[in-house]
A and B are shown apart, each in its own frame.
Chain A
Amino acid sequence: MIIEDDQNLQEIYKINFEVQGYEVDIQGDGLSGITTVVEKKPDVILLDIMMPNMDGFAFLRAVKENTSLKIPVIVCSNLSDKATYDKAITAGAAAVLLKVDYSGKELVQKVESVVSAYNTANTGTLA
């Protein structure tokens, strides 16, 4: 699931993930993300921070408090300050990525490595 308000980025990510065989669901802000995450149960969530209606942090808080879902959430933002980083990690993000550093393909690769590390850590199985 990709929670991102920039329509261009929505298209770029969707194309790149789908070409690798993933099923992609796009949500435009935290609010619609919250209402659909329980029903869709994605394997990973890519979360932007700066969004209207409900920002990334509010989404993270809402997921933590209202669901018992254990899904890796990767914060993808163009904010690079330490405060944002710390806040995201404390709120339970699996990783924090700076969007502008990655090309489409690189992002997919990075997400894949974060997810496998997360799954290893959480199920205790040897990859």
Chain B
Amino acid sequence: MYSYIDFSVACLNIILAILLLVRHRKKTMMQYLAFFCFSVGAWAFFVAISIHKTTPVDYINLYSKILYLFGNLVGVTFLLFSILMSEWAKGKKKVLTIITLAIISFLSFLYIFTGYVVTGAEIKEASKNIVVLLFHYGPYKIFFDVTLWASFLVALILQLAYVYKKIKSPYSHTITWYTLLGTYTCLVIGGFTNVVLPIFDITEYIWVGPASTVIWVGSILLGTLKSEVFGFRTVITELFGVCLIIFSLWFFIASLGEDVFPLALGILIFNMTASYLSVLSVRKEIETKHLIETQAKKIEEANIRLKSLDKLKSEFISLATHQLRSPLTVIKGYASTLTDGVVGDLTPKQRDLVHHIYTAATGLANVVEDFLNVSKIEQGGMKYAFALVDVREIVKDLSSDMKIIAEDKGLRFESNIDENNVYTIEGDSTKIKQVFLNTIDNSIKYTKEGFVKVSLSQNALDKTMKFSVSDSGIGISEETKQKLFTKFGRGSAGSTLNTGGSGLGLYLAQAIVEAHKGRMEVLSDGEGKGATFSVYLPLS
């Protein structure tokens, strides 16, 4: 029964060896780790077969020799692996390969074809569970003991030195600690049961050594998994693939000479292809995942930078606005003090001039206000204080104020305000008033003679109100209509008229109207033919 345990462990080790080879084909160090695994597996296999009940007695001698050969190779391959890991052999790969081949050839010859180390074995006793062997050694049995222990000792020193020096290798330290722990635990157990005890002719426990290598396999797998978080799926897929291939291979071999041979061959080929492809695809997926993670991190960092830039920008604008307003306040303050006659009267002409200073300063303050509002809108920081607003009141107040300004300019001012309905909307009264004011102001600005007409009406069907301002001014061409509501977009005729302002008025007006779920519209028959601006807003 114990032989079955060892057979399974042998399989496990061989699967691990294949896995490692498949995965790290190109890395010499891992190839040697795979050889080590294979040696362990082969050793376990030959222990199993030696103590197996149905093994023909004549073969036991041969099997024992091979057993010891692989036992020695276990030490040798582990040492070679450690040498590679410690990077001593950097650049000396070719030399190492030659040495490896030489060692293997020599040892194979020594163990199998000569009797210097082991001559054979005989069955001491056979019971239900186990066959206990008695090994017969040659004169140089000490060679086995010395090389085995020396290999592991040197390997241990090299590995510890590696961990100590923390040499930069693509494999993290996790795998090293796990290898160390796993290997030396097995070494202690296996060394005791398979090397020490047989010296005293206690060979009942030689099955324990190979069985204990399951600890070593487990530790290697754990180390691999831990050092490559995303490698879990790849490992499982590869494991599955390898197992599938092994079983198909076994089926194939078993079917040689039978009728199912073609089927077995087909299954084998299919499984090999399928496993290879699935491993490839899982690897690709993992790679993509990795890439996405890196990109996500980069985006996160860029986002943080952008946020801080945004903050800087709005702080700058706040500061700039405040600094621009301070001297403007002073200009307006002094100018108005002069025109109001507070420090003595001015002549009408003087008063007129000083008043222009006041108006220009006010204009500039409005421009600053516009810039501030535009930047607020663009940053999404424009805040509205929504409440129920009586639009008619606002329009009436504005009309009476603007009437004076229009008539001062020699224009006829008409207002057609519907008195029969309710004009309540949900909105920010200050901002809505600003929009209406801008619209009327624009009309007056761009009309040299004629009229400006303000009207307020509603459409009962879709519950919207319409505020519109018509004028007999310079009109708007088709192409100008396109860019009218854009930032700084003025009509071509408008730019010859020095009207001051920021060119942002309509852009802001539209933004405010849209925030109130309304829309703005412009109608004009062309240049020189006047225009009508309308604001549609939903009634509450």
Please report A residues at the B interface, Cβ cutoff 8 Å: 6, 8-9, 12-13, 15-16, 19, 50, 78-82, 98-106
Q: Which of B325, B342, B365 is the one whose CB lies under 8 Å from A16?
A: B342
Chain B 307-333: CB-based contact to A (< 8 A → 1; otherwise 0): 000000000001001100110111011
Is B63 engaged at the interface, CB distance under 8 Å to the other chain? no
A6 and B342 contact, CB distance less than 8 A: no
Q: How far is the CB of A35 from chain B (nearest CB, A)?
A: 25
A78 and B333 contact, CB distance less than 8 A: no
Q: Is the interface of B mostly helix, strand, loop or mixed?
A: helix
B330 and A78 contact, CB distance less than 8 A: no
A6 and B318 contact, CB distance less than 8 A: no
Q: Given A15-B337, A103-B333, does the pair A79, B342 have CB atoms closer than 8 Å? A: no
B358 and A8 contact, CB distance less than 8 A: no
Instruction: Report the bound CA distance from A80 to B318 in whole Å.
Output: 9
B383 and A104 contact, CB distance less than 8 A: no
Instruction: Report the bound CA distance from A7 to B358 in whole Å.
Output: 19
**In the complex, what residues of A have CB within 8 A of residue B328's CB?**
100
Q: Given A6-B326, A8-B330, A104-B342, does the pair A79, B318 have CB atoms closer than 8 Å? A: yes
Is B343 engaged at the interface, CB distance under 8 Å to the other chain? yes
A103 and B321 contact, CB distance less than 8 A: no
A104 and B322 contact, CB distance less than 8 A: no
Instruction: Report the bound CA distance from A106 to B340 in whole Å.
Output: 11
Q: How far is the CB of B273 from chain A (nearest CB, A)?
A: 67
Chain B 329-350: CB-based contact to A (< 8 A → 1; otherwise 0): 1101111110010110000000
Q: How far is the CB of A94 from chain B (nearest CB, A)?
A: 19
Is B372 engaged at the interface, CB distance under 8 Å to the other chain? yes
Q: Given A6-B330, A103-B336, A104-B333, does the pair A78, B325 have CB atoms closer than 8 Å? A: yes
* Total number of B residues with any Cβ neighbor in A under 8 Å: 22
Q: Which of B325, B337, B365 is the one whose CB lies under 8 Å from A104?
A: B337
A80 and B329 contact, CB distance less than 8 A: no
Known: A15-B343, A103-B340. 16 other contacts (CB 8 A): A6-B326, A6-B330, A9-B333, A12-B333, A12-B337, A16-B340, A79-B318, A81-B318, A82-B383, A99-B329, A100-B325, A101-B365, A103-B335, A104-B333, A104-B337, A105-B336
Instruction: Report the bound CA distance from A79 to B317 in whole Å.
Output: 11
Q: Which of B326, B334, B383 is the one whose CB lies under 8 Å from A78?
A: B326
Instruction: Report the bound CA distance from A58 to B342 in whole Å.
Output: 34
Q: Which of B318, B329, B335, B343 is the one whose CB lies under 8 Å from A100?
A: B329
Instruction: Report the bound CA distance from A6 to B328 in whole Å.
Output: 12
A105 and B340 contact, CB distance less than 8 A: yes
Q: How far is the CB of A119 from chain B (nearest CB, A)?
A: 26
B372 and A104 contact, CB distance less than 8 A: no
The 8 nearest A-B residue pairs measured at CB? A103-B336, A12-B333, A78-B325, A8-B330, A100-B325, A99-B329, A100-B329, A104-B337
Instruction: Report the bound CA distance from A9 to B299 in whole Å.
Output: 49
Q: Which of B322, B330, B340 is the one whose CB lies under 8 Å from A79?
A: B322
Instruction: Report the bound CA distance from A105 to B372 in whole Å.
Output: 26
Q: Chain B: which residue is nearest A79 at the CB level? A: B322
Instruction: Report the bound CA distance from A99 to B315 in whole Å.
Output: 20
Instruction: Report the bound CA distance from A79 to B372 in whole Å.
Output: 11
**In the complex, what residues of B have CB within 8 A of residue A12's CB?**
330, 333-334, 337
Instruction: Report the bound CA distance from A102 to B329 in whole Å.
Output: 8
Q: How far is the CB of A70 from chain B (nearest CB, A)?
A: 28
Q: Given A100-B328, A101-B365, does the pair A8, B342 have CB atoms closer than 8 Å? A: no
**In the complex, what residues of A have CB within 8 A of residue B322's CB?**
50, 78-79
**In the complex, what residues of A have CB within 8 A of residue B326's CB?**
6, 78
For window 344-370 of chain B, which residues contact chain A by CB distance below 8 Å?
358, 365, 369
Q: Given A78-B326, A79-B322, does the pair A103, B342 have CB atoms closer than 8 Å? A: no
In the assembled complex, 29 residue pairs joining A and B whose CB atoms fall closer than 8 Å, in A order, are A8-B333, A9-B330, A9-B333, A12-B337, A13-B333, A15-B337, A15-B342, A16-B340, A19-B342, A50-B322, A78-B321, A78-B322, A79-B318, A79-B322, A81-B318, A82-B383, A99-B329, A100-B325, A100-B329, A101-B365, A102-B332, A103-B340, A104-B336, A104-B337, A104-B340, A104-B342, A105-B336, A105-B340, A106-B336
